[in-house]
Structure 1
């Protein structure tokens, strides 16, 4: 492709010809005669890092996003020189680097194009700030689709979009509004049934253009820093997402209660109001595990304090709530009130831990307490101090989780909504301005909070939730999508944001159910609950300034719908916990858009509404008012309608009728879905048996169930139970085999099996090759069998 660079990129600078190259183990350095160096590092056969500098040497290599505990390695690396290019070959891909202009092409081993540079790397000198605006242009192919980039409030497929990454407090954001709270500069490309990923690890304000400005060009650029990106080859989307999630890290397993239902509002106070809310949940028998306290629990919005008027004895209150099954989660913001009598402020001042302007004074900004200074969480010493501040909250008062808000960082009454760009940061010894540190500020706050809670909650597991995040934040924290609005459009946005966050490595995410700003109708709230229970983090939250937003605020019908769906979530806790285990261990996203589930089916490439919850449940929310059904797309395979148990063939669009107390829910044929009995909170009941719902299939299917002590770290010592159930259905037979890993012994002794869609009447039952009587397994002649939990093989014969 011949490109007239003078016309297309006026004022930009480009690498010139390669004059030398060297290899150091897994890295190849290409030097040009205008001082550009390209460093190509092979981390895996399918993951290659490209790092450019224009100054003849590289600055210190440091990233908050990369998980340093992850090991990498490759099977094959060959470097060869041809007349006009260099070739780097692994066992998965080959990389061609052009000698005359440093442009890069990446191909599979058959020579098929995966990703090619258009102009490739170029830059513009930034005379205002120093350094470069670094740019990269790739060829975008006809029919190519793009996914990822975190919590963008736009169509799942990013083709034709231009997006910006700058963590921003966007109260009541709208569809397509840019930028939002999180920065995840990672996208997935898909063309010709081949998927690849690009992670642009640059924390400056950055931009992505997916064939928006020019039809066949995808580009990304940043206001400073290095052109530093990782290329990940699939060819399956699942391979790309897993590899990226390994690269940026996975969380530890959360305590099971965090997967229950949470209730929040700005704000529940005084104590009597908190007790009224929690009491109503128990009275109405709507399961709930967590109650949140927003900024009004503090004394004048000072972090790490309690209002003596509203909460005279927080330790007693938290203990009483715990006795009733409620875990207390409190908000902590970064703004520390400037007040010489406030102990946190005094400590921060004495230790010189607050962020400073370039010319010396502390950065001062207005947030809820008024004038505040802000800790520099990019300083490891400050993080250590911050972690220590949680001792009283967690160890003494008994708070179980902390919610970090306003950490974009948000500042009121200034047009930029954030710090001035000249604010200085330690950046773990790599001193820099806020231009570089802004996008990681929230993550480093959440990290410091996580380290504190982990220290003081031990031997229990910590729980942190953050509003702002950069790639890799999932190692420390869950998140929510910020201040959304009680509209049908925002219900659509929330559904897409959750799928996108899952594909972007940040699985433990939810939206404010019902909408934060404004007031939902009863119907909208019900529809949002029906979607929200299928998101990894499940919390109702509202500003409370437009009316009440508890489930009972909308009348009896909505109470019943809320109870029905929250109960379903609690029944599905072992299924959800298993999803989490697979995410934590293998980087498997908990929610899967249809394109992830079947990228070869072109019909899935632009689907936004349907998603796979875990591996085997298909969810399709109702997203408009007055709807008693909807058109939807069923992906490949056969699916059971969860409500009617009718089997429907996939790979087609169809109309699904539902009542107001339902949404389209389908279960994959052959799935074995684990369920617990309904509890009002995690740990309320001793589980007497595990229920398995078996959806018959003519053929084979595997399902899994992960269990452990539901909290604590014994699972790291092998005390967990990971069961694999292999189903093999025949015309007149059904065989279920069980294989168990791990040393954890569940308290229940039996498994209750419900058979759905069995096409024959059972005449004989064998367990571990021995015939058993119907009475010994409590077979009711219909669909239910109770067996010992340690069976190896169950054989049903018709």
Structure 2
């Protein structure tokens, strides 16, 4: 039909609007008198508002209105507005059990839970759970306790729900009533999206169609970040950089804490380099003679710490094409506002996390990022956005767009990082590396995150897994460099950072045991960068994260929900952290350290060597591209790369490459190399296709160093029609076939016949 939506009057008050925005996505709103003003997330472009028109059929019988698209169906009770969601085959997915409250009194909705139903999502609001049934979530950005709540919930029954609100709200997921879940708030109007999809990956994909796909960071950002001690000066920072190079530890990004500024913890618009510690002469503010130029010659980028209390809504109103309203007078001060800290928090920086009153910083006609362009022009390539001021409450604030803090608080971290991202992008044409602790729906589009002032232990791991379960791919935490387990976990993340801050976490100060371990893992990470970067590209296309919780990767395994100390890194690596007890899902698994094979499902105690920090397994069938050793990304052209193969059945890997810096990959300037492996009885067959596509700086020719794991010795190895000579063309040692092949027109086809 020609309509884009239908409106139903609701007896308890207001009008229910049902809008199919896609075949498997419906937007549901309850408004007063058929008026549906956009909330902050939609108004400011965080939530997608433009969709191709979706045809649907409508009918009504026995007081129930049905809207069908072919992929899904929503039914609404014409009397009280209660809804139900069905898939394309007519299977009931979700049923509302209690009517929604009248719009003027906030909103509430209650839904039925099936006996065996599981619930996931909600982002970084809990660091205890992956499966959320029985949990009560208070969705309010808060320092340490709730850094990045994301109001996206999904179910093992095939439905997802994104609550499009910024108001303080609550999800009760079967805690108060075991067979019901509910969402409610004291203020705001009901506005949510329903998704019908057959699996978790598709649900995340569709959610990130609504709120945006994860950003692809610059390639160097997936290497190692090191943040200096906050008292470091320019000479100390350069000494740190030289230590990395002398020790042979690869690293790409050097960060400065608040001590880089003339005024410590300066969140104003008048930031300046500290005149003594980071002296920049007025006659030579840019160029190779500065300390930033010296860093660049060593292959490093520079990151600066920032803290912001700027009213970003003035600029968002301009971007929305509307005139910002006059600022209203401040409301009464609420001295009862406070933060509660758990006694087992890893570390706390409390200097800037009390409630903040009034606004003495904002210049209404100037966007926030304009005050940072001077530093970008001098060569700064990244910014660390501290939680301070992002996660603070502003009890008396009337924001420039007319909202009070109850409405804007949750959205502020997203809007701030949006303006950081877009400001850097527009000023430089390059992909930004903005990393933050605070966030809300849509943060995956604009910034990487780290787990805040909570260290690098098991709780930040759960935080990162929950981030991934709502489509945020670029999550990390401060690495615990003082334990083998912390180093192991710290390097096997989407991006890795060591934050010295007020401490001495410098690798070369770790001693005889930990320093070699740190070096090994740093080099391992850099060798794995083509594998990790390809996983990041998958995330940018589909929302599937780089690290994946076991419920996300193996939803049918009954053990998955309780596995909070292990995860999949991309498709092929299983990592366990802070434990030697590992649950191996169905399939064949290879211990990366020893080469021993296991068949799952199985619970094992991993045998971890003394010079390693935790269990690491490779899924049989894995194809892993690896780089040669380098000190930093871009040090040399990658005209020769390795490919490690673990043949088992049939498998495939697509290597993604681009210039690593710009957004040109979005217009097709990228290269894909398809790699395949097949094991069939006594024969292995390996394929490497021709590169498809081009990008600036792409090597014209390429060779591959193949390492093919097999339990049996080969009797023959053939490249196309030619038999290769053992010793000259290939070798077999310790269960590995090794050979070097050159890229060729039509691709590479290798056959290995194995001895009986």
Q: Give the TM-score taking structure 2 as reference length.
A: 0.87
Task: Determine whether 1:498 maps to 2:464.
Answer: yes
- Pick one of 88, 95, 100 that aligns with 2:74: 95
Cα distance in 2 between the residues matched to 1:71 and 1:230:
13
Q: Does the 8 Å contact 1:675/1:691 carry over to 2?
A: yes
C-alpha displacement at 1:452, in angstroms?
2.4
- Pick one of 393, 405, 408 that aligns with 2:386: 405
- Pick one of 49, 59, 72 that aligns with 1:80: 59
**Per-residue displacement from partner, 1:83-139 (whole Å, max 9, x unpaired)?**
13122222222222123322111123444321111214225x8xxxxx432111111
- Pick one of 744, 768, 778 that aligns with 2:729: 778
Cα distance in 1 between the residues matched to 2:139 and 2:262:
35
Task: Determine whether 1:469 maps to 2:436.
Answer: no
What secondary structure does 2:123 align onto? Answer: coil
Distance verdict in 2 for CA 1:122–1:244, change over 3 Å? same
Q: Any residues of structure 2 matched to 1:100-139 within 5 Å, and which? A: 100-123=79-102, 131-139=104-112
Q: Any residues of structure 2 matched to 1:144-223 within 5 Å, and which? A: 144-151=117-124, 152-170=126-144, 178=145, 180-190=146-156, 194-223=157-186
Distance verdict in 2 for CA 1:42–1:69, change over 3 Å? closer
**Per-residue displacement from partner, 1:542-596 (whole Å, max 9, x unpaired)?**
442xx42222333221111111111111000000110111111222221211111
Unaligned runs of at least 5 residues, structure 1: 1-22, 126-130, 171-177, 338-351, 411-416, 515-519, 624-629
Q: Any residues of structure 2 matched to 1:295-694 within 5 Å, and which? A: 295-301=258-264, 302=266, 304-313=271-280, 315=286, 316-335=290-309, 358-359=329-330, 367=352, 373=359, 382=366, 385-395=367-377, 397-406=378-387, 408-410=389-391, 417-420=392-395, 422-427=396-401, 431-458=402-429, 460-485=430-455, 491-514=457-480, 522-523=482-483, 526-544=484-502, 547-623=503-579, 630-662=580-612, 663-694=614-645
C-alpha displacement at 1:694, in angstroms?
0.7
Structure 1 window deviating more from structure 2 (739-748 vs 608-617): it is 739-748
Cα distance in 1 between the residues matched to 2:524 and 2:46:
37
Cα distance in 1 between the residues matched to 2:110 and 2:65:
20
- Pick one of 240, 245, 250 that aligns with 2:213: 250
Q: Does the 8 Å contact 2:223/2:496 carry over to 1?
A: yes
Q: Does the 8 Å contact 2:537/2:656 carry over to 1?
A: yes
Q: Does the 8 Å contact 2:86/2:196 carry over to 1?
A: no
What secondary structure does 1:780 align onto? Answer: strand
What secondary structure does 2:598 align onto? Answer: strand
Cα distance in 1 between the residues matched to 2:751 and 2:711:
10
Q: Any residues of structure 2 matched to 1:256-275 within 5 Å, and which? A: 256-265=219-228, 267-275=230-238
* Root-mean-square deviation (Å): 3.0
Q: Does the 8 Å contact 1:387/1:450 carry over to 2?
A: no
- Pick one of 755, 763, 778 that aligns with 2:716: 763
Cα distance in 1 between the residues matched to 2:416 and 2:46:
17
**Per-residue displacement from partner, 1:752-775 (whole Å, max 9, x unpaired)?**
1101125341414032xx214337
Q: Does the 8 Å contact 1:294/1:331 carry over to 2?
A: yes
C-alpha displacement at 1:376, in angstroms?
6.2
Q: Does the 8 Å contact 2:219/2:660 carry over to 1?
A: yes
Cα distance in 2 between the residues matched to 1:446 and 1:274:
26
Q: Does the 8 Å contact 1:196/1:232 carry over to 2?
A: yes
The alignment of Structure 1 onto Structure 2 pairs a total of residues equal to: 705
What secondary structure does 1:121 align onto? Answer: coil
Unaligned runs of at least 5 residues, structure 2: 312-322, 338-350
Distance verdict in 2 for CA 1:374–1:141, change over 3 Å? farther
Distance verdict in 2 for CA 1:221–1:475, change over 3 Å? same
C-alpha displacement at 1:362, in angstroms?
13
Q: Does the 8 Å contact 1:356/1:363 carry over to 2?
A: no
Q: Give the TM-score taking structure 1 as reference length.
A: 0.83
Q: Does the 8 Å contact 1:65/1:201 carry over to 2?
A: no
Q: Does the 8 Å contact 1:501/1:507 carry over to 2?
A: yes
Distance verdict in 2 for CA 1:67–1:674, change over 3 Å? farther
C-alpha displacement at 1:244, in angstroms?
0.7
